[in-house]
Amino acid sequence: MTFKELGLKEEILRAVEELGYENAMPIQEKSIPFMMNETKDLIALAQTGTGKTAGFGLPILNLLKDVRQTQALVLAPTRELCIQIANDLKGYSKYMKGVKVVPVYGGENIITQLRQLDTPAQILVATPGRLIDLIERRKVDLSGIDYLVLDEADEMLNMGFLDDITTILEKTPETRRTMLFSATMPAGITNISRKYMKDREEISIGKKNTGNENVEHIYYLVQARDRYLTLKRVVDMNPDIYGIVFCRTRQETKDIAEKLMKDGYSADALHGDLSQAQRDSVMQKFRIKNIQVLVATDVAARGLDVDSLTHVINYNLPDDTESYTHRSGRTGRANKKGVSVSIIHSKERGKIREIERIINRKFEQQQIPNGIDVCKKQLFYLIERMENVEVNNEQLDPMFPELLQKLESMDKEEIIKRFVSLEFNRFLDYYKNAPDLNIHERDSRRDGDFKVGGTRGGFSKLRLKINLGEKESFSPSRLLGMLNDATGDKSINVSGIEVTSKFTFFDVSAEDADRVMTAFNDLGGEARVDVAKGGRGNGGGRDGGYRGGNSGGGGYRGNSSGGGGGYRGRSESSSNGGGGDKPWRKDRNSGGGGGDYKRKEGSSGGDGARRKRY
C-alpha cells in the first residue's frame, strides 16, 4: 500500500518519497489508519527494523494541531534511540511548517537541552530519567499531551525505568492516546498496559515473541574452550561479515575484542566501562563500517541501531529468551536476510529447544567449517575482489609493456598461482593443520578418559587458574568459599587444587567452567579466573600426565602454525594460548607429566618446587 493511499498530508508524502520509501511497511499499514481513524490505544508487538518509527511518527505528525505546545511525547530507553527517533521525525516533518522535535536524554549537558526547550516542542523524544529531571525543573509541560509513545517498552523495563514511566504516565492527561511498542511482551508490559491503556487494541507483526522471518538461526556445538576458535572460523568463513558478537560480561567482551584485534580482525569492543565519548566513537566507527565485528554486551549494544548487519553471533547464549529475541532481531532488518549464530556446548542444547519453542522458529545445527572450507571461501573472495577491482588503465598503460616483458617467462597458470600465493600464503599456512572443532561421537567417548568419581563424574574437565596464591594467603578453602559466593551453587565439583605463590589452579567440569569464570570475573574485584594453559583438567590427578603433552612445547600451545589465525594482515600469533588449534589431541598419550602451565608458571614465578597439591 502506498502512503498516499493511507491518507497522509502532502508535506509528509513529499518527505517520505524523498527518503525513498515506496510502500508502507506492514506495521505502518496497520498503525497509520488505526491512529488516524480510531480512538483507541495501541499495543504493537514489533522489533526494531520493522519501520515502527514511521509507524507512530507519521500519523502523529499528520494529527498535530497547529499550536505551539507539546502534543506528543515519545519515551525511549537510550540516548541513541532518542536521537535516532528525533532525527527520523525531523526528516518526516521536513516540509511541515513550524514543527519542532526535540530529543532530551541523559548523559548530555542539561543546560543545552533546556535552551532548546525555551519554546515548546510539539514533539518531545525523551529518556525517562532525563524527562523526570526536566519535569522537576518545570521545564516541560505535559498537560497538553495528546499522544504518548512508549518505544521499546520491554527494554525500558529491563533498564529499570518502570517507576519513572509510571510517574510520567500519571503526569499526562487521561485523554491522551497511548501507543506501546515492544519486541516482547513480558508480564511488566502487560501490567502497564492494563493499568494505563484503557480501550486498547493489540497488533503484531508476526506472532508474539516471534523471531523475524528474515533471520536464519544456526548453532555450532563445541567444547567450551573452542569458542574463540569457532568464532574466528565463522568470521573467516564470512569475509564480508558485518556483525555483533554478544558476550555475557564486560570482561569477556574486552577479552574477545582484544584477541580479535590482536589476530588482525577489524573489531572493537562496546561495553559499560567505556566513557560515553568512547562509546560514541566505537559506535560511529561501526556504523560507517570501519569496524566489521563489534563485540558487545547486551546493555551496551542497546543504543546501537544499524540496519544492515549480516550476522549476530551469540558467543554465549543469553540467560533468557527475550535477550535472544533482541539480539537476533538486530539482523534481518529492513527486508534484508540475516544470520543469528550461537556457539554452544552440548549442555546448552536444551536452551536452544526452549528458544525454538518460544520464538517459534527452528535452529539448524551446522558443522563448523574446516580449514579447507575456510581457505576455499577466502580464495574465492579474493578472486571476486580481483574481478570487481577498478583498473586504472590510464596510469597502468605506460608501465604495462615493461611489466609484460618481466613476466614473459611465466605462463598464465603460474602467474595466477604466484599472485594468489602472495596474498594468500599466510592464510593457507594458518589453516594448514587446523583441526576439526566439531563435537563428534568419538569426542564423547574420549571424554570417558577423563571421568572422575563423585556426583558429577563423567564430564570432561577444564583446568582453571585464579590470580590469587600463597602471597595473598589464598587456600583451597578460600577458593571454595569464593566459588560458593560467586555462583551460589554448592554442587559445583572442584578437584586438583594447586596453590602456587601467585596463582591457584583447579579443575571443574567443562560444563561448569564458563559459569565459574563468569561468576568470578563478575565479582568485580581483583580476582580473575581464566582457563589455565594446557586447558584440560586432569580429573583430579587420575589422568596425570595428560597435560604433559609433547615433550617439547607442551600441551595446548602446540606446534601448529597457528590454527584459526587470520588473513587480511593478521598477526602470526593467535592469542588463544599461542594459537595451536588443539595439537593436544595428538599428544595426549605421550608421557611427560607437569603441564605446560607448570613450566611456565614455575619458571616465571620460580616457585615450581613450592607447588602444593590438594
Closest CA to 215 of 336, 69, 53: 336
The three three-digit cell numbers of residue 478, written as one number = 578460600
Map 530-544 to HEC letters: EEEEEEECCHHHCCC
Q: State in angstroms the smallest separation of the CB of 101 from ligand AMP.
A: 15
Q: State in angstroms the smallest separation of the CB of 1 from ligand AMP.
A: 10
Comparison of 212 and 495: residue with beta carbon closer to ligand AMP? 212
Residue 51 makes contact with ligand AMP by CB under 6 A: yes
Q: State in angstroms the smallest separation of the CB of 53 from ligand AMP.
A: 3
**Residue of minimal CB distance from ligand AMP?**
53
Comparison of 50 and 158: residue with beta carbon closer to ligand AMP? 50
Q: State in angstroms the smallest separation of the CB of 561 from ligand AMP.
A: 44
Beta-carbon contacts of residue 273 (< 8 Å; ≥ 6 apart): 250, 254
Q: State in angstroms the smallest separation of the CB of 99 from ligand AMP.
A: 18
What's the residue count for the chain?
Answer: 614
Map 557-581 to HEC letters: HCCCCCCCCCCCCCCCCCCCCCCCC
Distance CA(426)–CA(438), nearest Å, equals 24
Q: State in angstroms the smallest separation of the CB of 256 from ligand AMP.
A: 27
Residue 21 makes contact with ligand AMP by CB under 6 A: yes
Comparison of 33 and 264: residue with beta carbon closer to ligand AMP? 33
Comparison of 230 and 331: residue with beta carbon closer to ligand AMP? 331
Comparison of 25 and 374: residue with beta carbon closer to ligand AMP? 25
Give the angle subtended at the CA of 363 by the CAs of 359 and 369, to the nearest 5°: 150
Beta-carbon contacts of residue 390 (< 8 Å; ≥ 6 apart): none
Q: State in angstroms the smallest separation of the CB of 125 from ligand AMP.
A: 13
Query: For ligand AMP, how many residues bind (rule: CB under 6 A)?
Result: 13
Comparison of 67 and 334: residue with beta carbon closer to ligand AMP? 334
The three three-digit cell numbers of residue 374, written as one number = 575456510
The three three-digit cell numbers of residue 16, written as one number = 517520505
Residue 314 in contact with residue 324, Cβ under 8 Å?
yes
Residue 181 makes contact with ligand AMP by CB under 6 A: no
Residue 125 in contact with residue 50, Cβ under 8 Å?
no
Comparison of 155 and 348: residue with beta carbon closer to ligand AMP? 155
Residue 89 in contact with residue 65, Cβ under 8 Å?
no
Residue 54 makes contact with ligand AMP by CB under 6 A: yes
| Bridge-based pairing state of the strands 612-613 and 495-499 | antiparallel
- If residue 462 lies in a helix (H) or strand (E), which one and from where to where? strand 461-466
Map 149-205 to HEC letters: EECCHHHHHHCCCHHHHHHHHHHCCCCCEEEEEECCCCHHHHHHHHHHCCCEEEEEC
Q: State in angstroms the smallest separation of the CB of 57 from ligand AMP.
A: 8
Comparison of 34 and 228: residue with beta carbon closer to ligand AMP? 34
Residue 416 makes contact with ligand AMP by CB under 6 A: no
Residue 50 makes contact with ligand AMP by CB under 6 A: yes
Out of 25, 64, 168, 183, the residue judged to bind ligand AMP by CB under 6 A: 25
Residue 24 makes contact with ligand AMP by CB under 6 A: yes
- Helical ranges in 454-547 per DSSP H: 476-487, 510-521
Distances in whole angstroms, Cα of residue 385 to Cα of each of 239, 243, 421: 11, 20, 15
Comparison of 28 and 518: residue with beta carbon closer to ligand AMP? 28
Residue 76 makes contact with ligand AMP by CB under 6 A: no
Beta-carbon contacts of residue 228 (< 8 Å; ≥ 6 apart): 256, 259, 564, 576
342 phi/psi in degrees, rounded to 5: -120, 130
Q: State in angstroms the smallest separation of the CB of 335 from ligand AMP.
A: 8
Out of 12, 31, 45, 53, the residue judged to bind ligand AMP by CB under 6 A: 53
Q: State in angstroms the smallest separation of the CB of 177 from ligand AMP.
A: 19
Distance CA(130)–CA(141), nearest Å, equals 14
Q: Return the residues of window 28-47 that contact ligand AMP according to CB under 6 A.
A: 28
Q: State in angstroms the smallest separation of the CB of 551 from ligand AMP.
A: 59
The three three-digit cell numbers of residue 176, written as one number = 491522551
Contact segment (CB under 6 A) with ligand AMP among 24-32, 114-122, 492-500, 547-555 equals 24-32
Binding string, residues 302-321; x marks residues near ligand AMP by CB under 6 A: -----x--------------
Cβ density class 273-290: b for 16+ within 10 Å, e for less: ebeeeebeebbeebeeee
Q: State in angstroms the smallest separation of the CB of 48 from ligand AMP.
A: 5
Out of 31, 49, 74, 165, the residue judged to bind ligand AMP by CB under 6 A: 49
Comparison of 2 and 281: residue with beta carbon closer to ligand AMP? 2
Contact segment (CB under 6 A) with ligand AMP among 23-31, 204-212, 474-482, 513-521 equals 23-31
352 phi/psi in degrees, rounded to 5: -60, -45
Residue 1 makes contact with ligand AMP by CB under 6 A: no
Binding string, residues 333-372; x marks residues near ligand AMP by CB under 6 A: -x--------------------------------------
Out of 31, 41, 45, 48, the residue judged to bind ligand AMP by CB under 6 A: 48
Residues that bind ligand AMP (CB under 6 A): 21, 24-25, 28, 48-54, 307, 334
